[in-house]
Structure 1
Amino acid sequence: MAEFGIYLLESSICLAGFYFIYKLFLSGDTFTSRNRYYLLFVTFLSLIIPLLSFSFQTENFSAANKFVWEFEQSFQTEILQSNELESETPLFSMISFVWILYFLGVSVSFFRIAKHVFHLFKLIKANEIRIYNGLKIVSVNENSSPYSFFGYIFLNQQILTESEQEHVLLHESIHARQFHSLDLLFVELVKMVLWFNPFIYLINRSLIEMHEYLADRECFNEGIDKVYYQTLLLRNVERQMMFALTSSFNSSLTLKRIKMIKKIDTSKLAHLKIILVIPVVLISLLSFSFSESIPRLSEGNFDNFYPLESLAFPLKSGDQIYISSGYGERIHPITKKKGFHNGMDIAAPKGTSILSVSDGIVTKVNNQFVQGKGYGRFVIVDHQNGFSSLYSQMDSYSVKEGQKISKGDLVGTIGTSGLTTGPHLHFELKKDGKLVNPADFFGKDLSAYLK
């Protein structure tokens, strides 16, 4: 869930940047079609950019400097013997409350959309329908402004004269022909996911404005008198749009529409302002989609790179931190059978910081894990002289693949993401591709960590 939360945050930041470009430089132009597609494109782009991932690496690591596992076998053996360390966690932590609140908002948004669609189809089924230029006119009785939904136009014929009906039907038919309902449906679905982000509501409102401006302009291209058309808008000013997914003749934008009708066309040179979105795209990509470019080690090239001294212990000392299971033969804590333990288990409270044992480069951050199985979340770091270290059973990550880290840097936090009986770090060390006992390489007495 942490990864999804980061995605939502990054997507929201992208959307905010794109909207500011629109509001500051584009919204006042008369290029309504351009603005419509801009709003749709940047909304889609905001969802995509956080999903992209790019990295640049110039050379390859030595093949002997990497972990190679028999995962299926390792998954059965790498578990924690830490029954002594049990910490009570609140039934509902703050993070759990935030996620409950988020999904409650998603549910409310979903049912709101479903309710609107249900009412529209209910009106279609319950009222008389006639055909107008290939569109279906639904005769309704409510005192509302006419509105359209895809190929349906909802109209109360009793409150409009024949001349007014002709103008209104032309306006609403333009909404239908230009698929404005599809735009609104797309934005409503995005609002369901990003309901907490105020900028998606501003984009939705701006898109509705563009729809009305486009329909108004097309009506004038059909030869409708501008003065009569503005009078018709004022007559409908007190009537409200019925549903979020519909395009309304009134749409609560009457004064803005009248101002846009009277506005002088913007110079075509104003199209050049669209290039202002490029810096926002680049900043978003660099911030959310690119990992640090780090020189990689070729075969045998270890000169002047990370001189390896004794390894640092991966956790700071503390009363609740101890080695619960060492390297070598042991009794499996779950199966109770004798087997070989490939690493060292260090018990610690959930959330305890995990530190890098030496300088190195992160070669693996496992995001494809199943909660409660195998190693769970794990990180692999390659070091000097053919050493590699594995940190598993983690709760969260603080590094990315390809990242250069130093001895003592934060790698992540202790957790219970894999097959385990309690919170701990399962640490493994390899030298030239072979497992070794980590205790032989720590430059300190580990007796203080034994129980």
Structure 2
Amino acid sequence: MTEFYNYLLEATLIFTVLCLFYHYMLRHHKNHLANRWSLWLLMLATVLFPFVSITMWVEQLAPVASANADADPALLDKTQGVTRLATFFFSIYLLGIGFHLIRLILQVTNILGMVQRSTEKYTKDGILFIISPEVQSPATFFHLLFVKDRTPLHPIIEQHEKIHIQQYHTLDLIAATLFKAMMWFHPFAYKLTGYFKEVHEYACDEIVLKQHGLHSYIQVLETHTDTEAKPNLCNSFSSFIKKRIHMMTQAPSSNSRYGIAMVLLFGIFALMSFDTRYESKAPIISKESRDTLPKLEISKAKSTDTTTPQKTRENKTAKSNNTSEANMLKRFPNAIELIDTIVTYDSETGKESVMIVKSKMIEAYNILIGEELKKKNPDMEKINEWTKKGRIQ
């Protein structure tokens, strides 16, 4: 679950930076084909960059804290609460994706329903014309061209709509809608479809203007200023009329901004993808971990005090310890993973290295060892005994 949230956070940061750059630096640029591919790169970078990891191995290490913290029941309860909260938000995220996917399916179904409800269809130059009173302005969806009635289209409008079909602009809109389903919580995701539609209209206008004069083309556009652009998943001729007229009258733009965009893209890739990992060498000094805790030296001096009362006290203490150990085993019988950090020193290079050792232990013994180590004078014999009992090979 943590990896998923890390991925979503990185994707959000990448998308935010790239979308802001496109909005303020590229959106009003006159290189419309480059803008179209910039939007595609924006989506691909958001989805793929968090998956990419380039590992850099480093010998010189900063001190690494041990992850083998004492197991505390209160801490365990808190961790479980965080896990439940993470699962709740993940469920909300999936519901959002499901909502937008269902909405996309309904939009496509509505368009196909318009085809079925149409009383008249005909094919011209490989394009299927659909006569539908549900559209106010000519609109395209893949190879389908929806028109209001049988009245022949103006040659400029027909050429404009054919360019939409030839350049597969519907694929862009579907991809943007799927991307919005993935990033539905991000407000910029709802602008992406509009960005694509703007670029589509600008690109078609630019091609048509090469064959027709600006004045005559603007006159045709002005006849569709009052018509509604729908369906939403289609490219409609009446979309962004004022913006298109403004774009036509602008002077050509410099392409230097795309160089800045590539530098920004590479910088984001490097920032999000490079992962520093630590290289450990064969230990010179004997490793120190819970498996090799120093054993308590038993004095060789002979004890002469072997009275029965002392033995009785020792037996009672041992029985008490066994009872405590048994209770802990009943409460925490499961195995947990431990991570021991071993710091070694290479006298030849003068460098420290860290080795991470993973092992498994019964949770009850891990808690007992942790509680004993908190004491001012911990019983090392108990600790060694519990370590042997609890360690799982």
Fold conserved between structures, TM > 0.5: yes
Match of 2:256 in 1: 272
Tell me if 1:115 matches 2:115: no
Tell me if 1:232 matches 2:220: yes
Q: Aligned letter for 2:161?
A: E
Match of 1:302 in 2: 284
Query: Residue 392 and residue 309 in structure 1: after superposition, are their counterparts in 2 closer, same or farther (change >3 A)?
Result: closer
Tell me if 1:57 matches 2:48: no
SS at match of 2:275: coil
Match of 1:155 in 2: 147
Query: Residue 295 and residue 30 in structure 1: after superposition, are their counterparts in 2 closer, same or farther (change >3 A)?
Result: same
Q: d(CA) in 2 for partners of 1:220 and 1:425? A: 79
SS at match of 2:274: coil
By how many angstroms is 1:193 displaced? 0.9
Tell me if 1:212 matches 2:198: no
Q: d(CA) in 2 for partners of 1:218 and 1:106? A: 37
Q: d(CA) in 1 for partners of 2:173 and 2:272? A: 28
| 1:376-430 alpha-carbon deviations (Å, 9 max, x no partner) | xxxxxx976xx7532669xxxxxxxxxxxxxxxxxxxxxxxxxx9xxx5997xxx
Q: d(CA) in 2 for partners of 1:360 and 1:117? A: 61
SS at match of 1:57: strand
- Superposed counterparts of 1:362-401, under 5 Å: 389-390=357-358
SS at match of 1:207: helix
Tell me if 1:189 matches 2:178: yes
Q: Aligned letter for 1:116?
A: Q
SS at match of 1:56: strand
Q: d(CA) in 2 for partners of 1:102 and 1:259? A: 40
By how many angstroms is 1:244 displaced? 2.9
Query: Residue 168 and residue 289 in structure 1: after superposition, are their counterparts in 2 closer, same or farther (change >3 A)?
Result: same
Query: Residue 218 and residue 293 in structure 1: after superposition, are their counterparts in 2 closer, same or farther (change >3 A)?
Result: same
| 1:182-204 alpha-carbon deviations (Å, 9 max, x no partner) | 11111111111111112222232
SS at match of 1:157: coil
Query: Residue 290 and residue 137 in structure 1: after superposition, are their counterparts in 2 closer, same or farther (change >3 A)?
Result: same
274-283 or 167-176, which deviates more: 274-283
Query: Residue 383 and residue 276 in structure 1: after superposition, are their counterparts in 2 closer, same or farther (change >3 A)?
Result: same
Q: d(CA) in 2 for partners of 1:18 and 1:259? A: 25
Q: d(CA) in 2 for partners of 1:425 and 1:166? A: 82
Contact 2:338 / 2:359 at 8 angstroms: preserved in 1? no
Q: d(CA) in 1 for partners of 2:87 and 2:128? A: 48
SS at match of 1:302: coil
Match of 2:189 in 1: 200
SS at match of 1:232: helix
Contact 2:58 / 2:279 at 8 angstroms: preserved in 1? yes
- Which ranges of structure 2 fall in alignment gaps of 5 or more residues? 60-70, 292-323, 345-351, 387-393
Tell me if 1:176 matches 2:160: no
Tell me if 1:28 matches 2:10: no
Query: Residue 241 and residue 383 in structure 1: after superposition, are their counterparts in 2 closer, same or farther (change >3 A)?
Result: same
Q: Aligned letter for 1:236?
A: H
Contact 1:391 / 1:425 at 8 angstroms: preserved in 2? no
Tell me if 1:248 matches 2:218: no
Query: Residue 226 and residue 87 in structure 1: after superposition, are their counterparts in 2 closer, same or farther (change >3 A)?
Result: closer
By how many angstroms is 1:30 displaced? 0.8
SS at match of 2:123: strand
By how many angstroms is 1:232 displaced? 2.3
Q: d(CA) in 2 for partners of 1:124 and 1:146? A: 14
Contact 1:143 / 1:239 at 8 angstroms: preserved in 2? no
Q: d(CA) in 1 for partners of 2:96 and 2:124? A: 39
By how many angstroms is 1:135 displaced? 0.8
Q: d(CA) in 2 for partners of 1:57 and 1:91? A: 33
Q: Aligned letter for 1:140?
A: S
Q: d(CA) in 2 for partners of 1:118 and 1:232? A: 31
Q: d(CA) in 2 for partners of 1:117 and 1:37? A: 24
Contact 1:147 / 1:248 at 8 angstroms: preserved in 2? yes
By how many angstroms is 1:272 displaced? 2.7
Q: d(CA) in 2 for partners of 1:26 and 1:425? A: 61
Q: Provide the alpha-carbon RMSD of the alignment.
A: 4.2
Aligned match for 1:133, one of 125, 129, 154:
125
By how many angstroms is 1:54 displaced? 1.3
Give the share of equivalent positions with the same residue, in percent. Answer: 21
SS at match of 1:131: strand
Which of these two proteins has the greater Rg computed from alpha carbons?
A: 2
Q: Aligned letter for 1:9?
A: L
Contact 1:181 / 1:247 at 8 angstroms: preserved in 2? yes
- Which ranges of structure 1 fall in alignment gaps of 5 or more residues? 60-79, 313-321, 335-343, 347-353, 362-381, 394-419, 428-437
Equivalent residues, number: 324
Q: d(CA) in 1 for partners of 2:277 and 2:83? A: 40
| 1:246-284 alpha-carbon deviations (Å, 9 max, x no partner) | 111112x11110001111222xxx223212234433443
By how many angstroms is 1:323 displaced? 7.9
TM-score by length of 2: 0.69
